[in-house]
Amino acid sequence: MTEMQRGCHDLSAILTPDFHQKNTIKNMNKHHILCMKWGDKYPAEYVNRLHRMVSRHLTLPFTTHCLTDDPHGIDPAIVCHPIPSLDLPDGLPERGWRKLTTFTPDLYGLTGTALFLDLDVVILRNIDHFFTHHADDSARTYIIRDWRRPWRKVGNSSVYRFTLGAYPDLLATFRANFTTIRREFRNEQAWLSHYLRECDALRYWPDNWCKSYKYHALYPLPLSLVCTPRRPDCDILIFHGEVNPDGAIRGGGGKWYRHIRPAPWLAEHWG
């Protein structure tokens, strides 16, 4: 039996009705928004904008938490915590793997349901259903299905929901197998999807809830040079690649074939 299989075998304990009943009672009305900020790629204002968007579009009681290496400038209404260490061997850089620390067995004593949101998403309308959708399925993680290659069964971790502390062996499995994981998996979301799939704990959001600005708002060349980006019919708009919400509102770009038209309609939703 591999380390991965052992970790998933231990997960079977939380699939019991007793686990669901205890967590339903203990975590009632505990909704947590998680985000993560490290380095200088995004300023504190991105965290504040995300919190304001959630406040407008989530009617359930919630608390926003930011895992960060620098809380300066972040709205006091947002609870800041240090980013837990991945404890990688030989001081290897943690960078893109850090999101896995949201699965720390005891994340600052938080209990209940967590919805992780990347800092560069834009919320377009109500998101209550990201908490209420199969709310009793507390042993599984809901994530975006990859748009371009859905057959790979890899989730996009810009938006995912899970029960805090539900996977006590995930990080231990990651640390014990990091050398192999680093070689076989491109990034954190590829390995996370694999781990959860092996545990039968991977589920996907309905396709029309989260869409990509790159794939669903921008027109293909040459139309992208002259056409204003469309507003996709979705709840949360995901930004990946080179374009972020600020840049999308302004338009522009580097080389001519990457030039995009401004999307002024984004401004009313962004922040």
Tell me what pLDDT residue 90 has.
64
Tell me what pLDDT residue 132 has.
97
Whether 175 and 87 have beta carbons less than 8 Å apart is answered as yes
C-alpha separations of 237 from 120, 128, 245 in Å = 9, 16, 10
Measured distance CA(171)–CA(18) in Å, rounded: 24
Measured distance CA(90)–CA(108) in Å, rounded: 26
Question: What would the mean pLDDT of 95-115 be, rounded to a whole number?
Answer: 93
Only one residue has tokens 């390995």, namely: 191
Instruction: Look up residue 57 and give its amino acid.
Output: H
Single out the residue of 152, 169, 62 nearest to residue 116, CA to CA: 62
Range among 27-36, 193-202, 239-248 with highest mean pLDDT value: 193-202
Band (pLDDT 50/70/90 cuts) for residue 91 is low
Neighbours of 45 (CB within 10 A): 14
- Token pair of 93, please? 């850089």
pLDDT at 195 > cutoff 70: yes
- Token pair of 84, please? 């837990």
- Range of weakest confidence among 63-67, 91-95, 251-255: 91-95
Question: What would the mean pLDDT of 205-216 be, rounded to a whole number?
Answer: 96
To 5 degrees, how large is the angle CA 3–CA 8–CA 10? 100
Half-sphere exposure at residue 139, Cβ-oriented, CA atoms within 13 angstroms? 18
Whether 193 and 143 have beta carbons less than 8 Å apart is answered as yes
Phi and psi at residue 202, in whole multiples of 5°?
-100, 125
Measured distance CA(119)–CA(180) in Å, rounded: 29
To 5 degrees, how large is the angle CA 39–CA 42–CA 47? 110
Burial class for 96, CB neighbours closer than 10 Å (0-12, 13-18, 19+): exposed
Tell me what pLDDT residue 47 has.
98
Band (pLDDT 50/70/90 cuts) for residue 254 is low
pLDDT at 28 > cutoff 60: no
Measured distance CA(98)–CA(86) in Å, rounded: 7
